[in-house]
Amino acid sequence: MPSLIDIRRRIRSVRNTQQITKAMKMVSTARLRRAQERVLLARPYARILNELVANVASAAQSEEVLAAHPLLVRRPEERIQLVFYTADRGLAGAFNSNLIKAAQQFLHEREGVRVEIEAIGRKGRDFFRKRKAALSGEHLGLGNRALYADIVPVADRIMERYRRREIDAVYLLYNEFKSILSQRLALERILPVELPKGRRLTEYIYEQPPQELLEKLLPQYVRVAFYHALLESTAAEHAARMTAMDAATTNAAELIEKLTLYLNRVRQASITREIIEVVSGAAALA
């Protein structure tokens, strides 16, 4: 049976851990509020940009030069670029582990094909670096600020690699923010850009030829896709960490209650034993 000092020491340790998890929950709650606002503001822009690209592409589909656009050319997927979004820190439940499992599944399904990983986040970078995976680049700390200016150079470099035919396809793998309690794994192919087929959604009168507009819209479409994935991943990370720290705080409170009850029982048993020893000694002397 552990001594009273050992039990008190354990209660003190759990209480200190509870204070840490409670503080981390409060920090994640504040950060989640800001990240959620940015995601909700970015989603309409991304949706309207997608509709605009769809309309311009539909207007330009009759032009033969459209099929030769470097961001639209389809090639056999012999060299794939996987842009992999993870967190820089842990203590976020299954946020990082689910992403890593999905990335491993992606590599397993494309066994025999060269897949290069662009790691955005420390956890994914560390995991695949230890396993000697092909890393084309690593970017740490982007989720802390989640700025458009930080992700644009990454998107531009990957687009340039696609134009030079160094890679044949680009996929984004990240956690999409659905709600505080749920995130959805998202795997999207960004390059080659998938253009909608059929008639355009809205009839526009174009001052410039649709092909010229598409030349400027397609790179912006890819940049926004990279940025939108970063915002979704950041919000999902804070939601996962807030949920995990809330559960850890609750578990710590339950453990403290159980340890306190156990401490009282041990102390009561110790007092009872001492009383019995005193009574037995007095009876022996009588």
pLDDT digit string, tens, across residues 90-111: 888 889 999 999 999 999 988 8
Residue at 29 is within a domain:
no
Q: Establish if 223 belongs to a structural domain.
A: yes
Q: Is 254 part of a structural domain of the chain?
A: no
**Angle, alpha carbons 124-129-133 (nearest 5°):** 100
The answer to whether position 253 is within a domain reads no
d(CA 238, CA 95): 10
Which of 133-142, 180-189, 205-214 is predicted least confidently? Answer: 205-214
What are the tens digits of pLDDT across the range 144-190? 787 888 899 999 999 999 988 899 999 999 998 888 888 889 998 98
- Bridge partner residues of 170 (DSSP): 81, 191
Q: What is the number of alpha carbons within 13 Å of residue 43 lying toward its C-beta?
A: 10
Burial (CB count within 10 angstroms: exposed 0-12, middle 13-18, buried 19+), residue 131: exposed
Residue scoring higher pLDDT (69 or 228): 228
Residue 4 has what pLDDT?
A: 80
**7 assigned to some structural domain:** no
- Give the range among 64-68, 221-225, 252-256 with minimum mean pLDDT: 64-68
Domain limits at 56?
41-197+207-241
Residue 281 lies in a domain: no
The predicted model scores a pTM of: 0.84
Spatial distance between the Cα atoms of 241 and 92, rounded to a whole number of angstroms: 4
Q: Record the tokens describing residue 98, joined without a space.
A: 């689910």
CATH code at position 182: 3.40.1380.10
- Number of structural domains (the chain) is 1
Do residues 176 and 236 touch, judged by C-beta distance below 8 A? Answer: yes
Strand order in the sheet with 169-177: 135-139, 114-120, 79-85, 169-177, 183-191
Please check whether residue 247 lies inside any domain of the structure: no
270 located within any domain: no
